[in-house]
Structure 1
Amino acid sequence: MLSSGFPQFQRIRSRMVHLDRTYSAVLFDMDGTLLDSSAVVERVMTDWAVQNGVDPKALLAVCQGRRTIDTIRDFATADMDCEAEAARLEAAEVSDVRGIIAVPGAANLLDRLPPDRWAIVTSAGRDLATRRLTAVGLPIPEVFVTAEDIQQGKPDPSGYLLAVERLNVRAEACLVFEDAPAGIEAGLRAGCDVIAIDFARPEVAAHVCPRVSDFREITFNLS
């Protein structure tokens, strides 16, 4: 089992978490972490599943936190053009931002972080990620790792390791915020501390790291 190697932390009031260490940088997943796009994902993925004879529940159970192309490959028929299908799905998601909201506290936290001390590492493509961040009024980071930048999606740690390299910090000095098991595993495998955000995914509670509902429930130090 992966271990977070997490330092001691305190719970204050019902869910407040204070981290007793200082970090060099903060790395964020996007969907389900900084913003909740689950309404869009459910609409688009369900439509695709029905059109292709796939069980929508099975598809939705595994698509969160992963690149679209990786999810499509899991359900593709032998003659399916997976790259074309993934591109079609992402185009549908880019055009649909109904119901997307920022996770509480996300905008305030990002506004307070120096631009060279944080990054987003997302399984979404750059166009889709930019569209969603803009739709909810969140900033586009200087270090922005998207699906196009990596060969292997989460739970492979390469996305987080690339962000660490671009920020010129050590992985063990980074704090990762994630929501999905695949992303949590990626952060842990990269050597970072990980906090789970369960705003959109209460089932993340079963995973192996501390959790909060949103960014109003946590404090930490940045050097």
Structure 2
Amino acid sequence: MSAETSVFDRAFGAFLFDMDGTVLNSIAAAERIWSAWAVRHGVDVEAFLPTIHGARAIDTITRLDLPGVEAEAQAAFITAAEIDDVEGIVEIPGAAAFLNSLPAQRWAMVTSAPRDLALRRMAAAGITAPAVLITAEDVKAGKPDPAGYRLAAQRLGVEPGDCLIFEDAAVGIQAAEAAGAPLMIITTTHQHPLETAHATIASYDAIRVQVDGQGLLRLFES
């Protein structure tokens, strides 16, 4: 846990969660598929792989600006491959139990993955799909744009600033900050320590939630 304790000193209207790296670990599967794709397209794998996390496939491919590469078609290819390969996908420690402890209308997931892939990965990790799921198809601009988090808050009937966002990747953290929401950073999959002023946890076993008399969510350290 980081030094920041402000997220434990207030109530929230809802919790919003990123998916990959935040409630489940899909790094092995994603990097297998993206590595093979990069090799086929002459992209430096070692330099490229750190850029794939947290972003939509179409944004990742478009950013490369490779000649003769149709981003939409290649993103569809990547998605199909990722749906087929869920080997090694697991929950972040304690994530499933923590999500199951939340009232269904008080949380949402906001992922850069397409809907079919998101549902497939959640099923593989034993994560129950939320009532509100914002995916790549639901926004015109992916993270670090805050559109996904704003849409999730709107569908839950709360303001973004009244939500606590759980994130792990740089582009997602930027999206949450742009939405004006407090953050809890999940560090489980980080290979290097993250320097941040936001609260951090490595496992959901470190926190618990209570619903107060107004139906708001209050976070406590376990």
Find the counterpart in structure 1 of residue 81 from structure 2.
92
Instruction: Label 1:212 to 1:221 Cα distance change in 2 as closer, same or farther (>3 A).
Output: same
Identify which of 117, 128, 132 aligns with 2:106. Answer: 117
SS in 2 for 1:163: helix
State the 4+ residue runs in structure 1 displaced beyond 2 angstroms.
218-222
**Quick one: which amino acid aligns to residue 128 of structure 2?**
P
2:185 touches 2:198 (CA, 8 Å); kept in 1?
yes
By how many angstroms is 1:204 displaced?
6.0
* Post-superposition offset of 1:220: 4.8
Report the Cα offset of residue 207 of structure 1: 3.4
Find the partner of 1:183 among 172, 192, 217.
172
Q: Which residue of 2 aligns with 1:59?
A: 48
* Number of the residue aligned with 2:5: 9
Instruction: Report what 1:203 is aligned to.
Output: 192
Task: Tell me if structure 1 keeps the 8 A contact 2:83–2:116.
Answer: yes
Q: CA RMSD in A?
A: 1.6
Aligned identity (percent) is 44
Equivalent in the alignment of 1:70: 59
After superposition, the Cα gap between the structure-2 partners of 1:21 and 1:202, relative to the gap in structure 1 and judged at 3 Å, is farther
In structure 2, runs of 5+ residues without a counterpart are: 217-222
Runs (5+) with no aligned partner, structure 1: 1-6, 11-17
Alignment check: 8 A CA contact 1:178 1:194 kept: yes
Match in the other structure for 2:123: 134
Q: Which amino acid aligns with 2:119?
A: T
How many residues of Structure 1 are paired with residues of Structure 2 in the alignment?
A: 210
User: Matched residues in 1 for 2:104 and 2:17: separation?
Assistant: 13
Q: Which residue of 1 aligns with 2:68?
A: 79
For the pair 1:169 / 2:165, whether they are aligned, the reply is no
Question: How far apart, in 2, do the equivalents of 1:168 and 1:112 lie?
Answer: 20
Per-residue CA distance 1:74-97 (angstroms, 9 max, x = gap): 223222111000100110000001
* 1:122-148 deviation per Cα after TM superposition (whole angstroms, max 9, x unaligned): 000000000000111111111100000
- Shift in Å, 1:202: 4.0
- Structure 1 match to 2:25: 36
Compute the displacement of 1:208 (Å). 3.9
- Three-state SS of the structure 1 residue aligned to 2:112 is coil
